[in-house]
């Protein structure tokens, strides 16, 4: 998968979560996420999809995209100990959620309103 924005192109090895079960599992119980890796969650329709940190072992950045691949919400360095207190949701509806290693979004210059292109190869 690669993500293209006005600031450049970044390539990630991505896992895809399209089923309810795969999205609920997410990155739970994984030991780490490599710097060039991501998890792309594809939801069936736009909504305020929540993300939790259940059974996570490391912090992550999460980006929500609408059906036009525009960034509508970003959470940086979501910490594992935030579960079960916090379920993170976007203010605007989203169709896609991408989970990255912590600090990826600050290095990529992604911001609310950025248009990204996702090419799954």
77: CATH: 2.60.120.1140
> Taking the model in full, what pTM does it have?
0.89
Is 118 a member of any domain?
Answer: no
Q: What is the count of structural domains for the chain?
A: 1
Q: What is the pLDDT of residue 5?
A: 64
Q: What is the mean pLDDT of each run of 10 residues along the chain (121 residues)?
A: 67 89 92 92 96 93 95 94 89 96 86 82 59
**C-alpha dist (Å) from residue 36 to 11, 14, 27, 66, 111:** 7, 9, 15, 23, 19
Is 39 a member of any domain?
Answer: yes
Is 120 a member of any domain?
Answer: no
Q: What is the pLDDT of residue 121?
A: 59
Domain span at residue 32 reads 2-113
Q: What is the pLDDT of residue 6?
A: 64
Q: What is the pLDDT of residue 25?
A: 92
């Amino acid at each position: 998968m690669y993500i293209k924005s006005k600031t450049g192109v970044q390539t990630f090895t991505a896992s895809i979560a399209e089923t309810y079960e795969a999205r609920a599992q997410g990155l739970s119980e994984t030991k780490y996420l490599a710097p060039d890796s991501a998890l792309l969650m594809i939801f069936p329709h736009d909504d305020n999809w929540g993300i939790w940190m259940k059974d996570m072992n490391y912090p992550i950045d999460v980006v929500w995209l609408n059906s036009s691949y525009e960034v509508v919400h970003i959470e940086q360095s979501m910490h594992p100990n935030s579960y079960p207190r916090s379920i993170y949701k976007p203010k605007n509806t989203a169709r896609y959620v991408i989970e990255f290693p912590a600090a990826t979004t600050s290095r990529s210059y992604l911001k609310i309103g950025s248009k990204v292109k996702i090419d799954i190869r």
